Chains A and B, each alone.
Chain A
């Protein structure tokens, strides 16, 4: 099935959509339109459309955007089609609906070059374009950079890439080339990192960092995931700022949630003493142990919504991520 998409007619269709939504408003209340950016979502057609839709709907109240969802078909036959609709919600206790516009495009991977040219005019002028690539197949397509070129920031998930070492190497190379990138494998670590960082906010515990000689990272699954390399790289860099050196140790164990972290230990060089640790307990809680002090915090498994929400909150470069990515890639490839 072949087809074309005409940006002008899609834009016209959207304008008509707003007029019709305005007419639907009860008591002349109309609808409110809000927009902070264009969010382009690249997904496989086989992916659960409802799940993506729910994630986007959850993101919209905080990051109202024009959303362009590009769903790629598995077959290589040249395909392009589109439809336009609005996502609306009625805030509690309010009379007016808030609406964001959504464009859905169905395409085949071979259409990427012409797709890039068609999507560009659909972006909201003067606002950033964020590209969320949920499909590793498309991310690795040699024509993907043409699609990515229109975005200020590209968000991906290296956990879906297969081999963590080559994934980290590939991402590091892209960042080195100037691309503004985000990786959910790193984003998933924020709460872990925050818990570790909070330990050393305490000045009396900060001194104990100099005694750390090893970091042990435990995770589920058979291979060390990209997130473990990220965490090790970040910890090593932090510890080196205190003039100490820490060697990473990775431990994997079977489990259903393959690739997820279960525990981090900061240990003295001889390995006999654990200076601080953060470990998962009873589902989605984390236990922080420092000497005799034991503290517990919620550590829910981050959803796509939570991860994307965090990344949309950082429109510019993230120097900590970029430094850590370079080091994690070295660690994984060594």
Chain B
């Protein structure tokens, strides 16, 4: 029997997905409706899914396969982004959608699920490959992993499990989660999804750094003055107050998304683009982030919480006025941290990372500020020199800008900063896949490059636990910034102490 498909043409064909069943727990939930099903449908539309692809939805609500299909159709039509809905494609795709009602706490659910998976394997030729996607409350991860054990869906193919953040709420719980998962799944089969890493422009950081020869020589402490990573949201907690007050910006955003982005910015070049090679380098960088001592936490971090404000003629509630939030909540809706990386490349270079809710605009970007020219020979010129700045914009307008100084036309040596812009969306008109399309495809293919590994999760918790431990012993005078502002003044002071200032994105 041939060992591999002789018709492959990687130059022209899209990446190949092997036959498999995707089992989604929480199939009636918001994530499934808004993100997962539209992403799977879009993959079908793009002809990425194999013939016989199957998806088995699992949740408590009793429903027939047809009712589930109808429900999913409504969701896909509603939440599909930048893409037409094709009724014929849907009809074909929907034939591969199945549903079973099951209570995750009921031991009878799992043998029944195993039976259903085996039936699908026989009917759809899925080769025994199963991808379990846990779109559930994090508290369900361990019971579900136990239930799946080593038997559900086990046959000749592979079994993988995808979990969403948070991966624990501190280092100890993250380690416990991994230990429990490993009782049923090898680490190589655990896919911890961080949708930030699936964004096209975050992937483009790797292309920018390692596909070009001119930037890497500058990418170190000799030339880089400091780095700023900003993830600002203009919205508040949007009904998630009860969850958010237990999480906060530090643990909800910085521990996972932004530390991973920082890892991508600062990691050493990988020898190959194989998943483990890339992840080894990212993990090595995360382990090199300086773990702060308590006095450093007080100096190099800022916690903030937004208060009420009037914006654009409308009254905005403060965090403590949001539904489900305790009136005395000490939750950080804003967090800013000065990280240092203890390695030869980055020693002494501050990485300022901030994230907050109810900031003036929604923007995520990385700014790398280079050292100024060593000698200001244009002293006296009307416009003084400005540091070179490389800005990698992740959202909403993905692109790269390089700021440098140029002579103004005319007599005399008058300088002014100019910006050279590369706009990802308008330089390349093609639709970019959503992060979930990319990440689901990767999980089915078995490419874990953009997924977070256990050692990476633990490394980032080590850094964040040191901060959070000090914060939880401290009583903050909240609120300390108004909704619609760029965060607490203490955050500006933190940078000013090193002679820096936050950019206004």
Contacts and interface: CB of A to CB of B under 8 A. Distances in A.
Interface of A: 32, 34, 60-62, 64, 91, 94, 96, 98, 190-191, 193-207, 209-210, 234-235, 237-239, 241-242, 282, 285, 288, 290, 293, 295-298, 310, 314, 318, 320
Given A62-B428, A204-B125, 18 more contacts: A32-B426, A61-B427, A91-B426, A94-B397, A190-B13, A193-B13, A194-B12, A197-B7, A197-B8, A201-B18, A202-B50, A206-B4, A206-B5, A207-B1, A293-B51, A296-B89, A298-B86, A320-B11
A203 B4 CA distance: 8
A201 B426 contact: no
Contact of A196 (B7, B16, B88, B423): B7
A177 to B, nearest CB: 22
A61 B2 contact: no
Contacts of A64: 427
A62 B430 CA distance: 6
Contact of A194 (B4, B47, B426): B47
B124 interface: yes
Interface of B: 1-2, 4-9, 11-14, 16-19, 45, 47, 50-52, 86, 88-89, 91-92, 124-125, 127, 397, 421, 423, 425-430
B2 to A, nearest CB: 4
B8 A94 contact: no
B42 to A, nearest CB: 12
7 contacts: A60-B429, A193-B13, A194-B13, A198-B16, A198-B51, A296-B92, A314-B11
A293 B2 contact: no
Contacts of B19: 201-204
A210 B2 contact: yes
Of B11, B86, B127, B397, the most chain A CB neighbours within 10 A belong to B11
A293 B52 contact: yes
Contact of B2 (A209, A235, A285): A209
A193 B51 contact: no
Contacts of B86: 298
B89 A298 contact: yes
B427 A98 contact: yes
A314 B125 contact: no
Given A190-B12, A194-B14, A295-B92, A202 B2 contact: no
Interchain residue pairs A-B with the least CB separation, the first 7: A61-B429, A91-B426, A197-B7, A241-B6, A296-B92, A238-B6, A242-B2
Given A293-B125, A295-B92, A296-B92, A206 B11 contact: no
A288 B19 CA distance: 15
Contact of A200 (B6, B9, B11): B6
B21 to A, nearest CB: 13
> Does more than half of chain B's interface fall in helix, strand or loop, or is it mixed?
loop
Contact of A202 (B1, B7, B89, B125): B125
Contacts of A191: 47
A298 B426 contact: no
Contacts of B428: 61-62
A254 B240 CA distance: 63
B13 A298 contact: no
Contacts of A205: 125
Contact of A210 (B1, B9, B13, B52): B1
Contact of B45 (A32, A204, A298): A298
Contacts of B8: 197
Of A197, A203, A282, the most chain B CB neighbours within 10 A belong to A203
A201 B16 contact: yes
A290 B7 contact: no
A42 to B, nearest CB: 24
Contact of A239 (B6, B14, B50, B52): B6
Contacts of A203: 18-19, 127
A293 B6 CA distance: 21
B429 A200 contact: no
Contacts of A62: 428-430
Contacts of B423: 32, 91, 94, 98
Contacts of B397: 94
Contacts of B425: 91
Contacts of B89: 296-298
A145 to B, nearest CB: 26
Contacts of B11: 314, 318, 320
Nearest to B4: A206
Contact of B47 (A61, A206, A297, A320): A297
Nearest to B121: A204
Nearest to A295: B51
A296 B6 CA distance: 23
A195 B14 CA distance: 11
B3 to A, nearest CB: 8
B427 A296 contact: no
Contact of A320 (B9, B17, B45, B50): B9
Given A210-B1, A239-B6, A293-B52, A198 B47 contact: yes
A145 B185 CA distance: 61
Nearest to B17: A201
Contacts of B91: 296
B398 to A, nearest CB: 12
A230 to B, nearest CB: 12
A288 B95 CA distance: 14
A193 B12 CA distance: 10
Contact of B7 (A204, A207, A238): A238
Contact of A94 (B2, B4, B426): B426
Contacts of B45: 298
